[in-house]
């Protein structure tokens, strides 16, 4: 479809050409062992940090899952959504309402939230597949704006502007974990499952079809890729991931209110994935870290500072590094690797 996306594609694919087999930095490469190392670090961290930091990391994981969904849609599918916060909110509220009204045990809320948002994504994906680029952005933006008054309106179910307060999942006693650690591991489990799901999806027929559509719609259609079908499917999967993230959000925060899911959330998510790296595997995690930590640091400078930084970075990233932080990191690793080899 475009130059920007082609470069993105190049840098996410494993670097071509012959490569020394025993470069000691290989674990840093996209398909190397870095996944296991990251996972090992992720397993150790909650035992080393104070509860507040553990909570922050849990939120990073929640965002990462939502960004994974957005990445599937924007980075791999070439569609845009300015309303992913809405799916996130639907997932969060599905879980909250189930736990509040029917006292559903929390593990059951996840598949239901995922199913609800998947169906919703499918329903919205049908018109979305017919809408091109900016029109899709418009419609999704309008949906995100509409959701907040909608949530406030159905007060008896959603708790209106006061929201719903829920008890957080408690760790089973055999684990010996504290509450924050248990929530962290729940989020980690969902995140790992989500990453595995997306990796599988992208390696499958669906992933190839999406890449083909993103890079050249007409050529893809000529080759027999069903445009509407795959675009709708991408929308639905992406909504499912955002919904799952929303569900975990409800577990972790134990409180939902319409004002947590304003259009700002949708825009923040888009900012996160753009800066993290569209179309890359590490992008959602880096984006999650960015979305979680940059505002909390920048807030100290000025209330407007996070927005100024977000806005500037989005524009700059689109100019100089369309692959985002993940692309830059990949580039740095490769050039470091090359320098080492020369010596």
Partner 1 sequence: MADFIQQIVVGLGSGAIYASLALALVLIYRFTGIVNFAQGELAMFSAYIAWTFLDAGVPFWIALPITLAISFVGGMLIERIVIRPVEGAPELTIVIVTVGLFIFVNAAAGWIWSFLIKDFPNPFPDGALRAGGVSVGYSTLGVLAVVGVVMGLLYLLFRHTKIGLGMRAVATNPESARLVGIRVGWVLALGWGLAATVGAVSGIMVAPLLFLEPNMMGGVLIYAFAAATLGGMDSPVGAVVGGLIVGVAETLAGAYVDVIGSDLKVGVPLAIILVVLLLRPQGLFGKAAVERA
Cβ at position 40, least distance to partner 1 in Å: 34
Q: Which is nearer to partner 1, 162 or 308 (CB)?
A: 308
178: left (phi over 0), alpha (psi -120 to 50) or beta: beta
Cα–Cα distances in Å, from 220 out to 6, 62, 195, 230?
15, 34, 26, 11
- Cα four-point dihedral sign 314, 318, 323, 325: negative
Cβ at position 63, least distance to partner 1 in Å: 17
Selected binder of partner 1 within 17, 149, 176, 224 (CB under 8 A): 149
Q: Which is nearer to partner 1, 30 or 295 (CB)?
A: 295
Instruction: Please identify, among the stretches 84-92, 140-148, 195-203, 248-256, the one whose residues bind partner 1 according to the rule CB under 8 A.
Output: 140-148
Closest CA to 65 of 124, 115, 114: 114
Phi (first) and psi of residue 256, to 5 degrees? -130, 140
Q: In sequence order, what DSSP letters do the residues of 239-252 get, joined into one string?
A: HHHHHHHHHHHHHH
Q: Which is nearer to partner 1, 114 or 141 (CB)?
A: 141
Stretch 41-80: interaction string toward partner 1, x if CB under 8 A: ---------------------------------x---x-x
Q: Which is nearer to partner 1, 125 or 306 (CB)?
A: 306
- State how far Cα 264 lies from the chain centre: 15
Q: Is 144 exposed, middle or buried (0-12, 13-18, 19+ CB in 10 A)?
A: buried
Cα–Cα distances in Å, from 162 out to 103, 258, 259?
19, 8, 9
Cβ at position 191, least distance to partner 1 in Å: 25
At 200, list the tokens.
Answer: 């599988």
Q: Is 133 in the site for partner 1 (CB under 8 A)?
A: yes
Residues in CB range of 311: below 8 A, 6 or more apart: 271
Phi (first) and psi of residue 212, to 5 degrees? -65, -45
Q: Is 5 in the site for partner 1 (CB under 8 A)?
A: yes
Cβ at position 278, least distance to partner 1 in Å: 9
Q: Which of residues 218-247 bind partner 1 (CB under 8 A)?
A: 218
Q: Where do the H-state alpha helices sit in 204-304? A: 205-215, 217-222, 227-253, 263-276, 283-298
Q: Is 131 in the site for partner 1 (CB under 8 A)?
A: yes
Selected binder of partner 1 within 137, 157, 178, 328 (CB under 8 A): 137
Selected binder of partner 1 within 314, 328, 329, 334 (CB under 8 A): 314
Q: In sequence order, what DSSP letters do the residues of 144-198 get, joined into one string?
A: HHHHHHHHHH-HHHH-GGG-EE-PPPPPPGGG---HHHHHHHHHHHHHHHHHHHH
Q: Which is nearer to partner 1, 58 or 257 (CB)?
A: 257
Contacts with partner 1: how many residues (CB under 8 A)? 50
Selected binder of partner 1 within 167, 173, 303, 339 (CB under 8 A): 303
Q: Which of residues 253-282 bind partner 1 (CB under 8 A)?
A: 263, 267, 270-271, 274
Q: Which of residues 175-194 bind partner 1 (CB under 8 A)?
A: none
Selected binder of partner 1 within 127, 162, 193, 228 (CB under 8 A): 127
Selected binder of partner 1 within 26, 152, 208, 331 (CB under 8 A): 152
Selected binder of partner 1 within 25, 150, 201, 202 (CB under 8 A): 150
Selected binder of partner 1 within 49, 122, 138, 201 (CB under 8 A): 138
Q: Distance between terminal CA atoms of the chain? A: 39
Selected binder of partner 1 within 72, 310, 323, 333 (CB under 8 A): 310
């Amino acid at each position: 479809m475009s130059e920007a996306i082609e470069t993105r594609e190049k840098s996410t694919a494993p670097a071509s050409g012959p490569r020394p087999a025993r470069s000691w930095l290989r674990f840093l490469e996209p398909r190397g062992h870095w996944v296991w190392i990251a996972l090992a670090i992720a397993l150790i961290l909650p035992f080393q940090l104070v509860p507040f930091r553990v909570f922050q990391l849990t939120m990073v994981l929640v965002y990462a899952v939502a960004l994974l969904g957005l990445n599937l849609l924007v980075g791999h599918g070439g569609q845009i959504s300015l309303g992913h916060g809405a799916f996130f909110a639907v997932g969060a509220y599905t879980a909250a309402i189930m736990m509040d009204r029917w006292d559903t045990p929390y593990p059951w809320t996840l598949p239901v939230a995922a199913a609800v948002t998947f169906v919703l994504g499918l329903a919205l994906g049908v018109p979305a597949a017919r809408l091109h680029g900016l029109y899709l952005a418009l419609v999704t933006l309008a949906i995100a704006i509409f959701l907040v008054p909608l949530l406030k309106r159905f007060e008896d179910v959603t708790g209106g502007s006061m929201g719903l307060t829920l008890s957080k999942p408690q760790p089973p006693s055999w684990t010996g974990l504290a509450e924050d650690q248990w929530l962290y591991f729940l989020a980690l489990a969902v995140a790992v499952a989500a990453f595995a799901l997306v990796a599988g999806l992208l390696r499958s027929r669906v992933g190839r079809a999406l890449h083909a559509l993103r890079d050249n719609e007409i050529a893809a259609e000529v080759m027999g890729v069903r445009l509407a079908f795959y675009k709708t499917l991408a929308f639905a999967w992406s909504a499912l991931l955002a919904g799952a993230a929303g569900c975990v959000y409800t577990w972790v925060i134990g409180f939902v209110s319409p004002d947590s899911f304003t259009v700002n959330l949708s825009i923040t998510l888009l900012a996160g994935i753009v800066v993290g790296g569209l179309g890359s595997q590490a992008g959602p995690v880096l984006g999650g870290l960015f979305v979680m930590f940059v505002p909390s640091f920048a807030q100290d400078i000025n209330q407007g500072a996070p927005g100024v930084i977000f806005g500037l970075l989005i524009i700059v990233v689109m100019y100089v590094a369309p692959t985002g932080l993940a692309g830059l990191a990949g580039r740095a690793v490769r050039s470091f690797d090359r320098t080492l080899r020369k010596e």
